[in-house]
A = this chain, B = another copy of it.
């Protein structure tokens, strides 16, 4: 038996898992502070719910199979289509506008490469049920707050209006969307190959913000988004053809792997399920890219999980003393753990504390017991002092 994970699938060991939790918690707090509410949907859906919404490419990358009951099922491919189903299915229970966030994994049988996996977390915010420009502006404000809260200081929110593409075929849009990767000349060449005049690109490049986009960005500024961060980019198209209004991408200055999030307005998708139009606008924080960029820019707080206390066991005879010491700490609401094997030598227990990044260690052996003291060791400075239990409690309460 090969002991391994599938290609494109990842284990997250504690150090990494803690960082992921930090990002999730930070974003969740921001989402909640804007009145967004959590939603969870199943990993598996009826296949017909998901297919046909992401284009041929999407259908090809979808994990689909027959379950034991012979149903055609598919693994969640994104969180937008399940949201559309939910809004349609519970129309009478959900009061609109419905502002929800959703943070769950999705699965895509992609070719794997740097930063592209077959299982990855999505982190979505969407507002359903209103066409008002204010909802777009509030979304931009939340996007700004989200990246700022993670510690990013220098980033851009690129915006465009799908309306600029209204006379263009999807093929031409796909080519223009690649302009940053392949350059203007190549775009013109590829456009000509499909019989589209190069003037199309020139017109786009000199286009002005639409009135609707102007409204949205002015309101976003009133909501506190610095004007310099909102950048109108008339060639920004984004792949999916279900967008109907504003489209959004976020780029971190100096992070060259690609955009760290994207979204836009999609007024017709929910109607496919609901049988009536329910407009919506949404954005997905690109979780893996954000993690990657935060590593690069060293934005994770160093303190994450480092203020632990380990109660050691001097030897099996002193087990009861250490247990009651631990109990006392916990009764005083001091977070502490105990080394779990009384047979193991002190040296190895201290090494364990180092490996686990534990900051403080308590030792209670014959010497300490005689003096009615506990040894308190700072694992970073290696300093140690002996104090009474009462003094230790005061010391730790201050920490």
Q: Give the B-binding residues of A (Cβ under 8 A).
A: 1-7, 9-14, 17-18, 20-21, 32-35, 37-46, 48-49, 63, 65-69, 71, 73, 75, 85-86, 88-90, 93-95, 97, 99-100, 105, 107, 109, 119, 127, 130, 132, 134-135, 138, 219, 222-224, 273, 305, 308, 310, 313, 319-320, 323-324, 326-327, 330-331, 335-338, 340-343, 352, 355-356, 358
Contacts and interface: CB of A to CB of B under 8 A. Distances in A.
Contact of A340 (B138, B273, B326): B138
Given A223-B326, A337-B34, A5 B45 contact: yes
Copies held by the complex: 2
A135 B323 CA distance: 12
A67, A100, A340, A341 — most chain B CB neighbours (10 Å): A340
Contacts of A18: 37-38
A48 to B, nearest CB: 6
B11 A38 contact: no
Nearest to A12: B40
A230 to B, nearest CB: 15
17 contacts: A3-B273, A6-B67, A11-B86, A12-B41, A13-B94, A14-B100, A18-B38, A20-B40, A43-B105, A43-B119, A99-B337, A130-B340, A132-B342, A138-B337, A222-B323, A222-B324, A223-B323
Contacts of A342: 132, 134
Given A4-B89, A340-B132, A340-B134, A12 B39 contact: yes
A314 to B, nearest CB: 14
B132 A43 contact: no
A257 to B, nearest CB: 22
Contacts of A94: 13
Contacts of A34: 337
Contacts of A273: 1, 3
A287 to B, nearest CB: 12
Given A17-B39, A35-B337, A135-B340, 11 more contacts: A3-B49, A6-B42, A10-B42, A11-B42, A11-B90, A14-B38, A33-B330, A43-B119, A63-B67, A97-B352, A134-B338
Nearest to A98: B14
A40 B18 CA distance: 10
Given A43-B107, A130-B341, A273-B1, A90 B13 contact: yes
Contact of A107 (B44, B99, B224, B335): B44
Contacts of A39: 11-14, 17
Nearest to A34: B337
A342 B135 CA distance: 10
